[in-house]
Amino acid sequence: MNNHENQFLGTEAIGALMGKYAIPCIISLLVGALYNIVDQIFIANASYLGSFGNAANTVVFPLTVIALGIAVMVGDGCCAYVSLSLGMKQADRARKSVGNSIVVVLAVSLVLSAIYLIFCNQIIAMFGGTVNQETFHHSKEYFFYITLGIPFYMFGQAMNPVIRADGSPRFAMASTLAGAIINIILDPIFIFVFRWGMMGAAVATVVGQVATALLAVWYIRHMKQVKPELADYRLVAPVIRRTLVLGITSFLSQISLVAAMAAINNMIRKYGAIDPIFGQDQYAQIPMAVVGIVMKFFQIVISIVVGMAAGCIPIVGYNMGAGLAGRVKALFTKLLTAEALVGAVALLIVELFPGKLIAIFGAANESAYYTEFALHAFRIYLCMMVLACVNKACFIFLQAMGKAVESTALSMIREIVFGVGFALVLPRLFGLDGVLYSMPVSDILTFIIALYLIIQTCRELNAKIKFESQSELDISVVREVTAES
């Protein structure tokens, strides 16, 4: 590998680098999010599935997020490790991280699939799938086939950031896009033509995931810069530990989302059962289906936010490793500004056009209660979208800087302490509305902490910039004295 190939990360304009790395990453994550969202759109518009199928999709979704969480922990951790190593001209460490990451993600994916298959019924019940018999039936069918694709899904998702770190963000984007296109083509065929129902939606998804995984395998065999050799696949504990530590924030942001969704789904089931409308069996699945849809829209926005931040990980890592604090600060400022703008645009959409959004998910086939609750949910649950976007960017940027402790702590506070805590407490005070309030309250409190960390990080970078400037001045003086001599 030629270490000079990545030197442009320390010299090219920050804005140009953000565009080069962030845009393909955004598209990759958006396309990845489309797997589940496309399934839900087609399911919602199939009259024989409707809100029951939508509710089932909501039940299974967090279980795919668990797989994604593990995959991105390995992949993002490897991406950060590789970028830092390349910045410090340590190619051997970069190769070992890639080789070890491949072995780890394959082994864990097989174990997770086995656990899912063995404890299928218990897991579905844990995530609120027993809201009524029809929802449980659809959840079990969808879950079984999705589980068969878990190893392919995890491998493809883990290798995506690794491919970006190797300097090929466009290939990473294209491999994910290929799988999503296959899913979009097969979904209507399997659901509407073959009428395979939830099985059809799941099989279409898995076929797309297999395609993405195969493209990742091809790339690993033709890597441009970090080319792991056979010895690099031998597991090395310090390398694995450092890789996972760097990726732990990505894992926690996903896995804590699962904990929050488990709490939310169960609170919906519990307090929906005592609601005058949704306590009726024929409407019991509506709150769960609707909240799932609202979360899917939020996932689209967060895919953009995370894509912008994660796409910058190689840039941040290289410049931190190379001691270029001024460039790191400039990137931090531009990123936070861009993330806030994304949140503002998304907020306008959900507040002004919630009816248009819910119409995409089969509202025409449902009762008036479905649309009414959906409009209410969109406007409350996502009202602090701007803060949510800034918070997420802060998590990832700190991770890219190597500040794993701060990043992990902030992520844990947001997703576990606030996300799960308020989802469990507020419904006791406000019923179903309490579930919706949990999101904005969590984001407000998290932003207060994030703002403190942002200020502290800028101060640290300013100190490093001052030190770098002084060092350059000292070197210049020495050169002048030497020249005069």
Whether 7 is covered by a domain: the verdict is: no
How far from the centroid of its chain's Cα atoms is residue 342's Cα?
16
Domain count, the chain: 1
Encoded tokens for 315: 């840039």
Query: CA–CA separation, 331 vs 71, rounded Å?
Result: 26
Structural contact between residues 300 and 10, judged by C-beta atoms closer than 8 angstroms: no
**Residue 478 is assigned to a structural domain of this protein:** no
336 and 390 Cβ atoms separated by less than 8 Å: yes
In a domain, 339, yes or no: yes
Q: Specify whether the CB–CB gap between 6 and 79 falls below 8 A.
A: no
- pLDDT at position 1 is 41
Residue 314: per-residue pLDDT: 82
- What is the per-residue pLDDT for 253? 67
Residue 41 forms part of a structural domain: yes
Number of Cβ within 10 Å of residue 245's Cβ equals 18
**DSSP character at residue 194:** S
Please, are residues 117 and 350 in contact by the beta-carbon 8 Å criterion? no
Is residue 276 included in any domain, yes or no?
Answer: yes
What's at 397, amino acid-wise?
F
Cβ neighbourhood burial of 130 (10 Å; 0-12, 13-18, 19+): middle
Q: Under a CB-based contact definition with an 8 Å cutoff, are residues 67 and 149 in contact?
A: no
Compute the distance between CA of residue 203 and CA of residue 235 in angstroms, rounded to an integer: 33
- The predicted pLDDT at position 479 comes to 58
Helix (H, G, I), strand (E, B) or coil at 149: coil
pLDDT of residue 335: 92
Structural domain boundaries enclosing 379 = 13-472
What pTM was computed for the model? 0.75
Q: Does residue 482 lie within any of the structural domains?
A: no
Q: Domain for residue 1, yes or no?
A: no
Q: How many CB atoms lie within 10 A of CB 484?
A: 6
Confidence (pLDDT) at 172: 87
- Which amino acid, one-letter code, is at 129? G
Cβ atoms within 10 A of the Cβ of 140, count? 17
Cβ count near 234 (within 10 Å): 11
What the block records as the tokens of 110 is 């097989």
Which letter does DSSP use for residue 192 in this model?
I
**Inter-axis angle of helices 50-87 and 133-148, nearest 10:** 30
| 3-state helix vs strand vs coil in the chain, percent to 5 | 85, 0, 15
CA distance 187 to 223: 33
Residue 218 domain-assigned? yes
Q: pLDDT tens track of the chain, all 485 residues?
A: 444 556 788 888 888 888 888 887 788 778 767 776 888 889 988 888 888 898 898 899 888 989 988 998 999 899 889 888 877 888 888 899 999 999 999 999 999 999 999 999 999 999 888 888 999 999 999 999 999 999 999 999 999 889 988 888 889 888 988 998 999 999 999 999 999 999 999 999 999 999 999 999 999 999 988 889 899 999 999 999 999 988 887 787 677 778 888 899 899 989 998 999 999 988 999 999 899 889 888 888 988 998 888 888 888 878 887 888 888 899 999 999 999 999 999 999 999 998 888 888 777 778 889 899 999 999 999 999 999 999 989 988 887 787 878 887 888 898 889 989 999 999 999 999 999 999 999 999 999 999 999 999 899 989 988 886 766 555 555 556 555 65
The token pair that represents 363 in the structure block: 């509202």
**Is residue 290 a contact partner of residue 373, using CB atoms and an 8 Å limit?**
yes
CA distance 454 to 436: 28
Of how many residues is the chain composed? 485
Residue 31, amino acid: V
